[in-house]
A = this chain, B = another copy of it.
Amino acid sequence: MADHLALSDPNCIGLDWGTSSCRAYLLGDQGAIIARNQGPAGLRSINPGRDGDPAAFDRAFEQLCGRWLDTWPGLPVIACGMVGSRRGWVEAPYRELPADLVDPALPCARVRTRRGAELNVIPGLVDLRGLRGVVRGEETQLAGLLGVGLGDGEEDVVLPGTHSKWVRLNGSVVTGFTTFMTGELYELLSRHSILADFIHPVTQPRWTAFDRGVDTAAEAVTDGTGLLGVLFSARSLPLTGAMAETDVADYLSGLVIGTELASARASWVRGTASQLWSLADSGLSARYRRAALRLGWQTVHVLEHAAARGLWRTAHAVGLIGGRASAPSTKHAIAPEEGR
């Protein structure tokens, strides 16, 4: 856990509190990160039990934010993620689509901590049409994207990860999203499948192998074979001497990421979209950017630390903090007034 000195007066505390970790941010003007703390205090490790144990959450909260609140006792606190699920600290019921990410009437759930601070928990989103879909935490990352160059019209955003989300944004309104189980499938295949013997950890991506996977996947999406019909090539190619064993991990990565992108382009993205917004950590963002450029997108904008920005922006939208938020539709990838 790292605790940095504050450099300016903070606006609020933001918590990105998920299943596997909790990230706490001390946020300044426009969501600038003044300090951060991170603990393994995800819902899984603090294990609050089936009905949630408030004391377990409170201990984790004090550990991450106690010193900040000692210094600035009245600071607003806002959180997103699984902490707002039924098994979290306080349930923040899903909002239905279409949902405006900066709606002033956005209904945060509230819980009073032991020391008397009020925790505001941002609700997730649910799509009750078709195959249904839910997000918790992603809506806040999306709010972080507002004001950094999104257009006024319809834009496609991908949030790569265990369960990658593809989101259709219209200005600040989420009109639809869908889920690809890409990251989880890669984990399953590389750890538990017949391919596991061939998956060796590599320090540098083997881009040629990755590209081969992307191209194979894209062709399989086009001709209808699909991922299920090409996965076995990650075994048959090395087995017959047509691929080095050391290439299998990145080839498989290319297969699953390429399938996601080609499928989304075929079925989700409207028309011939030329730009894509990606909210990912640096490891994944390079892979998604590379594959997307290979599959027809002309520009891929990547935004990291979107959750911290989104926590600040949502706190601002619902009136927890004052001040001026940057305009949500400037045409620059990072708006000049936001540079930090």
Residues of A within 8 A of B (CB): 126, 128, 131-134, 163, 178-182, 184-185, 188-189, 191-194, 216, 220-221, 223-233, 236-237, 239-240, 242, 256, 259-260, 262-264, 266-268
Contacts and interface: CB of A to CB of B under 8 A. Distances in A.
A121 to B, nearest CB: 19
Given A223-B267, A228-B260, A132 B192 contact: no
Given A128-B240, A134-B240, A216-B131, A180 B232 contact: yes
Contacts of A231: 181, 185
Most chain-B CB neighbours within 10 Å: which of A131, A236, A259?
A: A131
A260 B227 CA distance: 10
18 contacts: A131-B232, A132-B237, A132-B239, A132-B240, A133-B236, A134-B236, A134-B240, A179-B236, A181-B193, A220-B267, A225-B263, A225-B266, A226-B227, A226-B263, A227-B228, A228-B263, A229-B263, A229-B268
Most chain-B CB neighbours within 10 Å: which of A216, A227, A256?
A: A227
B223 A266 contact: yes
Given A180-B229, A226-B267, A228-B256, 16 more contacts: A131-B236, A131-B237, A133-B232, A179-B236, A181-B193, A181-B228, A181-B231, A182-B228, A185-B228, A223-B267, A224-B262, A225-B267, A226-B259, A228-B260, A229-B263, A229-B267
A31 to B, nearest CB: 30
Nearest to A133: B236
A226 B221 contact: yes
Nearest to A163: B232
Given A131-B236, A192-B188, A193-B188, A178 B266 contact: no
Contacts of A216: 131
Given A188-B189, A266-B224, A267-B224, A178 B229 contact: yes
Nearest to A166: B229
A138 to B, nearest CB: 13
A146 to B, nearest CB: 25
Contacts of A230: 131
